[in-house]
Structure 1
Amino acid sequence: MRILVIHNFYQHAGGEDTVFRQEVEELEKEHDIKTLTFQNKKGWRGALQYLAYPWNIRATWKVKKIIKSFAPDIVHIHNLHYSSGPLLIRSAYQLGIPVIMTLHNFRLLCPSASLFCHGRIFTNSIYQDFPWTAVRLRVLDNSLTKTFFTAFTYWIHRKWGTWNKISKFIVLSQFSKSLFVESTLPIAEERFIVRPNSTDIIPTVRTAGSGFVYIGRLSQEKGIVPLLKAFSTLPFPLSIYGSGPQQNIVEDFAKHYKNIRYFGYQSKDLLTKAIKHAEALIVPSVCYEGMPMTIIEAYAQGIPVLASNIGILNKMVLPLYTGMHFNPYEEADIGRVVTQWEKLDKTTKRQIRENCVTEYKKHYTVKKNMDKLMDIYYEAIQQRKEKQ
């Protein structure tokens, strides 16, 4: 099969980039793959990219050119924000190529992309035709201009029918699917297909780990500050990996508390090792996550997860089966759960680690994931042929 994969890189690397690279690497083993990527820039170049967001003719021209030369059977889009934009979808459709899109976040519903605003879950946009409440609250980078322009971009393409030119939307969980289905987005339920993320790691079960680890973006919606405050009162070690707008806060805590160590942004291999040697992975997000790759990597290595009781985390992490839940807004509850975990006996911990590997094998292996992806491709291609 000939597959064109399109992805827009953010200024800071994230989980979507990891999924994009992993899928391309796997697809290349058996198929003819071409990638078309875009990169968000800073400064005046980034401002020009943003102005072109709703109608990026240059990105559209690139898509037309590569489709005509490569002649793909299908186009798979991962991210369109913001240097590429949704207009390219229409080009692929007009050239008769079925388009698949993975929804790694909730940007189709809200300019926040995370359904998070001012420290809390924010779902108003789901039920509004145009997300005026989100604009008023400046949910994107606390900017009225950026929030409105992003909202306008997705709204105008909703009115133009651009999203209805996508054959299938891949969502990462049933939880995500339910949010899209109950929203005002005029897309039939059957076009949303649940397909979780995956990772290719040889499953192992460790007998014991050392300390707790956080890996991810250092920002408000990830709940990093309540986590730091909780560990500032605990005797247990916490290692933090990542970068983001709250990095200075993390660095300050690391200077004042010996049990908190900050390692910055690191390579994928080093992060995999960090998870492998941990007592448990901690995911304290106060927003709706898509499907954290770190949890899947932890399960593959038999590492339990202590996570928020919010959204998909409440489904992925099963209390005392693959980990434990806490209220991410309450530092005392984070501390209580961490302490409770430490007090579990060795036999219970060993069983939970084995359960993690079982969950990985059952839901998150690359083999199952890629088989599901190919089924989605073939179905989309067949449906487009029938329409033509």
Structure 2
Amino acid sequence: MTRNVMVAGVGMIPFAKPGASLHYDEMGAHAIRDALADSGIDYSLVQQAFAGYVYGDSTCGQSALYRVGMTGIPVVNVNNNCATGSSALFLAHQAVKSGMVECALAFGFEEMQPGALKSNWDDRPRSMARFIEVADQLVPDCDQPGAIRMFAGAGQTHMKKYGTKLETFAKIRAKASQHAARNPLAIFRKVVTPEEVLASPMVWEGVLTRLMACPPTCGAAAALVVSEAFAKKHGLRTDVMIAGQALTTDGAALFDKPDMIDLVGFGMTQSASRIVYEQAGIGPEDIDVIELHDCFAQNELITYEGLGLCDKGEGEKLVERGDNTYGGRWVVNPSGGLLSKGHPLGATGLAQCFELVHQLRGTAGNRQVADAKVALQHNLGLGGACVVTAYKRAA
């Protein structure tokens, strides 16, 4: 498969707290219309659509898309936990890359409820049952909800194994707030200091404060991907190309030789990034800007190592050097990331795409990364799924 796939248009609505947003179908429709307007594509030219959401009934994707138009095209609803949005993008990209279609739409939305993530089904085995069982063995006497137990437990493991300090995670959260202050679509735009992060209520003593966790969020985002030939035929922009993309799941070793860091997707991240680097003909040293899955500050640091930005155990040094922000080696999460921009599960991966496309176009305003040519996206879902995508600014 050698045909080039371009991101012709992106759309995103401002993220909001639960109860302060439109309903999911309206949010999704707004994001789709914005992506169509950004691309200049008439909706009648879209051949397939992939809708991402986690919490909702069947065919919610159709409910949102029908507000834009009803043309009879295939609509596939996608649920891959927190990697849902980028999984929808993966399918749209795959459809165009393979030659099945010339123009595909990926969109995602989430209308979330306050509080920790939870299952709506209590009469059947939970998809995360084995993960929780292993986490109980590795982190005994922990009464935290599932996601906190997983990601904060992985952070605790990193602290014990490599001497990483809680203050380092606070610096990551403070950095996220500094970036989000420049993003009008972010839910939290107040700048906080590392000291304020550490002084926020302690959720897990010595391991996690409240500000180190992302908030439940409502929102929507969308992207239109097209073949290069289609773009040229219709006079669309061809300045951002998907140079590589991979979706990975967990390997058998996850439960055979359990480790908290692997339990939150480290192995999936390593596998996906290696595939993408080979596909795109790049390495970490070639990347200018990154949007990665910082659902907890701890996971951002772990992901530095999973993506090969540094060796295992060296994430703290990367933070101390300032290599995760403006003026450093990479700018990580210029949008503010999940920690400050927000994390509406089905929309997150497409919101990352939105940010990186604008970075490569040079249209990111006062959060623009200077002369950005190569961008990397990382979106993770426990259970598991990991999508890594490389974008290049076309010559």
TM-score interval, normalised by the smaller of the two chains: under 0.3
Q: Greater Rg, structure 1 or structure 2?
A: 1
Q: TM-score, normalised by structure 1?
A: 0.27
TM-score under structure 2 length normalisation: 0.26
Greater relative contact order structure (CA < 8 Å, 6+ sep) = 2
Structure with bigger helix share is 1
